[in-house]
Amino acid sequence: MVPGWLVMVLAVSVMCCIPAHVQAETTTLTASRDTTIFSESADLSLGADDRIFAGRAGNNGDRRALLKFDLAGIPRGASIHSATLELTAVRMPSSTAFDFSLHRLENDWGEEFSFADRGVGGGGAGGTAMPGDATWSERFYESLPWSSPGGDFNLLPTVAFRIGPTGRYTIIGENLLDDLQSWADDPSTNFGWIILGSLSTRSVKGFASREATEEGDRPTLVVEWTAPEAEADTILEIDIVASTDSALVRLSFPTDAGFSYQVIESRDLMDWKSSGPPLTGTGQEMEVFRVVVEKRFFKLIKESATGSGSGGGG
């Protein structure tokens, strides 16, 4: 039988405390997914190619480049202070500068093992789509269509920019911060961006993809952020899993990547000691189990990988 005191104590005395001190961090991310979709065919993609394309091609076909950055290394709810997108233009029919725009995608999409025949338009003609690739009509080839052919995206551009000769380009804009802040607050809405080019003339430009041989040419996103401010004490979910003369209890709590978590325990709320090794946050729900035979108070300390944490009373 589970002692009555055990149920009461575990229901009210396990608390989560977050340090108030935060430090600015800079994270450089390489694209986690990128591809090209082609208006002239619903069966073309470039999921595994070392280039992506955007703009009007010589056959009057429209190319659109899709790219996404995984923000798992930035804690949920972090404050985004600056962001810089860097792209390398590597192939183009002309060094003339043309206008391009970056738009926030509103649906998920796929990248599989499709690549181009280098002898056909230098790769700009695309390759045969593989199941799961994004194409002009489908966000996952042979599985899920776009709501609108050509991609589901915000019609208002996140940022507009110009691309001329080959070289490395830095793209900045206030709305980049807005997109990233939204994704940091709710990672489930991060579907990346789509690049659109001018359709008035032959404007197509090729960019190095995440598969490019030279790492320095790959699409990168440089983000400066700070971890969330201190939160109010939070009661953790506690379940009694089994019992005999003692009780096995489960402590579950959400975690953020880039933070460590330490469970500590006390008999009297005065003397606290570690209740197991530190745990590294994954961005997912985490749980630990403890066997108790007498009254215990538990507390969770959350701290950044470079900072220090503190715990409050139960």
The H or E element spanning position 161 is: strand 159-163
Question: At 95, which amino acid appears?
Answer: S
Dihedral angle, C-alpha 109, 141, 37, 150, nearest 10 °: -70
Q: Where are the alpha helices (DSSP H) in the chain?
A: 4-12, 174-185
pLDDT of residue 37: 97
pLDDT tens readout for residues 13-37: 333 333 444 578 999 999 999 999 9
pLDDT tens readout for residues 143-187: 999 999 999 999 999 999 999 999 999 999 999 999 999 999 999
Greatest C-alpha distance within the chain: 80
Contacts of 200 (CB under 8 A, 6+ apart): 56
**Predicted confidence band at 118 (pLDDT cuts at 50, 70, 90)?**
low
Contacts of 300 (CB under 8 A, 6+ apart): 14, 15, 16, 17, 236, 251, 253, 261, 262, 263, 264, 311
Q: Residues 34, 65: contact at Cβ < 8 Å?
A: yes
Residues 251, 257, 260: CA angle, nearest 5 degrees: 55
Average pLDDT over residues 264-271: 77
pLDDT tens readout for residues 190-222: 999 999 998 888 999 999 999 999 999 999 999
**Predicted confidence band at 122 (pLDDT cuts at 50, 70, 90)?**
low
Residue 49, judged by CB atoms within 10 A of its CB (0-12, 13-18, 19+), counts as buried
pLDDT tens readout for residues 127-147: 999 999 999 999 999 999 999
Question: At 262, which amino acid appears?
Answer: Q
pLDDT tens readout for residues 48-87: 999 999 999 988 899 999 999 999 889 888 999 999 999 9
**Arithmetic mean of pLDDT over the chain:** 82
**Predicted confidence band at 286 (pLDDT cuts at 50, 70, 90)?**
confident
Q: Which domains are delineated in the chain? A: 4-23+228-304 (2.60.40), 25-226 (no CATH)
In this structure, of 2-16, 37-51, 156-170, 240-254, the range with the lowest mean pLDDT score is: 2-16
pLDDT of residue 309: 46
Confidence check: pLDDT of 227 > 90: no
